[in-house]
Structure 1
């Protein structure tokens, strides 16, 4: 009877392919159909950029949101089992945590230090692959007083991944419009003095400044830190030019990309305006950035070569040096040379630090920011 019930819901999930959906409404519909067949107490359904595996927005609930930061750190900074990037490269795209750790809870930092203290006893993770690319992750959670997920439930979810992945790929086209819905259509422009005093701004810039002030919890009279950061960086570049200092530093763009609390990414770039009459000023452009733009922006900020950017893309997807070498048709020694150069340019010392830096910080490096 349970098998027949599950088959009916499988059909319902595949029937969703005929509907007209946004990315969010489709994921919400999938979650509704999953609940009767694979009961869960909490969930996180995330879409990702297939080229970098960076999140493009999650459908979640308060119980998971409360531990989101810990899960984020675990995914990118700690050794553990069933990492999303590992599941992407695995032949089996769905995995149950408790089934892997029940005899040895110490084997998973996530299970011992994050899930159990939060009252969860198990999680089931799935990655969605379509056309050889990953388009999203789904994690279902059960409370500690509930039975763990079963192999039958894992197999059922695995069967549904093809249809869900296809729809995540299709609705990714509408996701861009969803992400832009609340944003101004025109670019934001503000002018500031060399003393970082706001001179003027258009309506779009006023909107973005209000979002930044809300994020930082600062007063309406305070210029947000990212604006001060790019402006200060520009001034330092101008000083280098005037002193004929290192030309490579002078070429560094005064640009920053940060993630707002609602998931949108905001790009800021400063430019020097030479006044024909009066003191020079600084112009700052503010535009919404799409997730697929982030890697190139950060790579540009650090002066990575095209080959280094390609290596970085594979590192973010957790490829080993051997796998990167095979994909790029180069030797592992050349991969290591590229990695050493990337480490030097970004100021990190390991792959783990590199991934954490590019995934968690969309802003200028420490020496280019101000307090």
Structure 2
């Protein structure tokens, strides 16, 4: 099993340098892991490392029906092996049977979601590489199959960094589909707390269709990034959310630009359930700066300076704002230029405002 795991690890390290799309990478992950570990069904999700919100997923037959309920348990309920905890753990792979000491019924997720759909044990892996979570992988076994073994858990843990790295790199590859018309303009979607679509403007409908096409899901299925920001908004019920702090995720679209998706929980002014508002709009430079900083390995100080430069501030203004000398600002700018490959502020700013053509990624 160790030799097979090493083969898979090497394969995905090589695939990371190809033009494999994110969706095809997720499918390949499921197919290759199945050769290592038997399971009945699986789900592979890419996430934004900054927000831990889904940017797209591939689910196999039998999983899609319970996927909405799994979101509810992940964001709104406490249960064993939450991905948020796995991503921070020393060991990022865990079986439900191990966490419950073989008593799966102790898990509300098992009782209310897995068991009714005919599944038994569940193996979860937070795909972490270099301290950053790039995605989630969930393997499901049927009632008839045995629990996941310790050996299988160890084998999966050997390949998760390579899977994470490949998933991250392929997330940056955007397929050029020339016959696909890109939506334009901001859109607004209104949903119930049960995530039922209540109303939408034309732009929101276009964005929904584009996301469904990108994820290769049907018109009746809510795209995972939309579901994720909505669940995060619902989880903040009763908490004070300041303007600009709404759950937000940036998704790479088919033309190389990024779409920003935000969700807000609306307060009911009359009797009835509260609603959720989802806003779609082209990602702003402020949304993209963290992405750019990670891509090029910018330090925290370099990222602060980049933010000031993009805002149009002069060297002197940046120095005053950050309480450093103008010479230090210039030194940091030189480092930024060296890392990004640009030679002037104008080129750098244009790169941010162009929202990063996929061909420009390092």
User: In which range does the TM-score fall when normalised by the shorter chain?
Assistant: 0.5 to 0.7
TM-score, normalised via structure 2 length = 0.54
Equivalent in the alignment of 2:165: 166
8 A contact 1:258–1:361 mirrored in 2: no
Q: Is the 8 A contact 2:123 2:148 kept in 1?
A: yes
Partner of 1:51: 50
Which of these residues, 208, 227, 237, is aligned with residue 260 of structure 1? Answer: 208
The alpha carbon displacement at 1:19 in A equals 3.1
What do the CA deviations read for 1:289-329 (whole angstroms, capped 9, x no partner)? 9969x98xx9xxxxxxxxxxxxxxxx99x9xxxxxxxxxxx
199, 202, 205: which one pairs with 1:225? Answer: 199
Aligned match of 1:365: 266
- CA-CA distance at 1:40 after TM superposition: 1.5
C-alpha contact 2:48 2:134 (8 A) present in aligned 1: yes
- Tell me the distance in 2 between the aligned counterparts of 1:143 and 1:262: 34
Q: CA 1:367–1:113 in structure 2 vs 1: closer, same or farther (change >3 Å)?
A: closer
Equivalences for 1:1-371 in 2 at 5 Å? 2-174=1-173, 182-184=180-182, 186-187=184-185, 225-227=199-201, 260=208, 263=211, 343-345=239-241, 362=263, 365-367=266-268
Aligned to 1:71, the other structure's residue is in SS state helix
CA contact (8 A) 2:97 2:103 kept: no
Instruction: Please tell me whether Structure 1 or Structure 2 has the larger radius of gyration of its CA atoms.
Output: 1
- 1:322 corresponds to which residue? none
**Superimposed CA distance per residue, residues 211-256 of structure 1 (whole angstroms, 9 cap, x where no aligned partner):** xxxx989xxxxxx82349x9xxxxxxxxxxxxxxxxxxxxxxxxx9
Q: Helix, strand or coil for the counterpart of 1:116?
A: helix
Question: Which structure 2 residue ranges, 5 or more long, are not aligned?
Answer: 190-194, 214-222, 250-260, 270-274, 277-362
- Partner secondary structure for residue 147 of structure 1: coil
Q: Distance in 2 between matches of 1:178 and 1:83?
A: 36
Distance 1:21 1:69, change over 3 A: same
Cα deviation for residue 367 of structure 1 reads: 3.7
Q: Deviation string for 1:32-79 (max 9, x for gaps)?
A: 221121111101100111111111111112201011111111111111
**CA contact 1:130–1:169 (8 Å) conserved in 2:** no
Q: Secondary structure at the match of 2:55?
A: strand
2: distance between equivalents of 1:152 and 1:132?
Answer: 24
Deviation at 1:150, TM superposition (A): 1.1
Once the 2 structures are TM-superposed, how far is the Cα of residue 18 of structure 1 from its aligned partner? 4.3
| Cα drift, residue 259 of structure 1 | 8.0
Preserved CA contact (<8 Å) 2:19 2:170: no
Gaps of 5+ in 1: 189-204, 210-214, 218-223, 231-255, 266-288, 299-314, 319-338, 347-353
Alignment partner of 1:343: what SS?
A: coil
Deviation of 1:17 after TM superposition, in Å, equals 3.3
Cα contact 2:16–2:169 (8 A) shared by 1? no
Name the counterpart of 1:277.
none
SS at match of 2:51: coil
Judge conservation of contact 1:258–1:363 (CA < 8 Å) in 2.
Answer: no
Which structure shows the bigger proportion of residues in helix conformation? 1
Root mean square deviation, CA, Å: 4.6
Q: 1:16 to 1:174 in 2, by over 3 A?
A: closer
Q: State the distance in 1 between where 2:156 and 2:105 align.
A: 27
Using the size of structure 1 for normalisation, the TM-score is 0.53
Task: Decide whether aligned partners of structure 1 residues 55 and 169 sit closer, same or farther in structure 2, where only a CA change above 3 A counts.
Answer: same
**Deviation readout 1:250-290 (Å, 9 max, x if unpaired):** xxxxxx9998377469xxxxxxxxxxxxxxxxxxxxxxx99
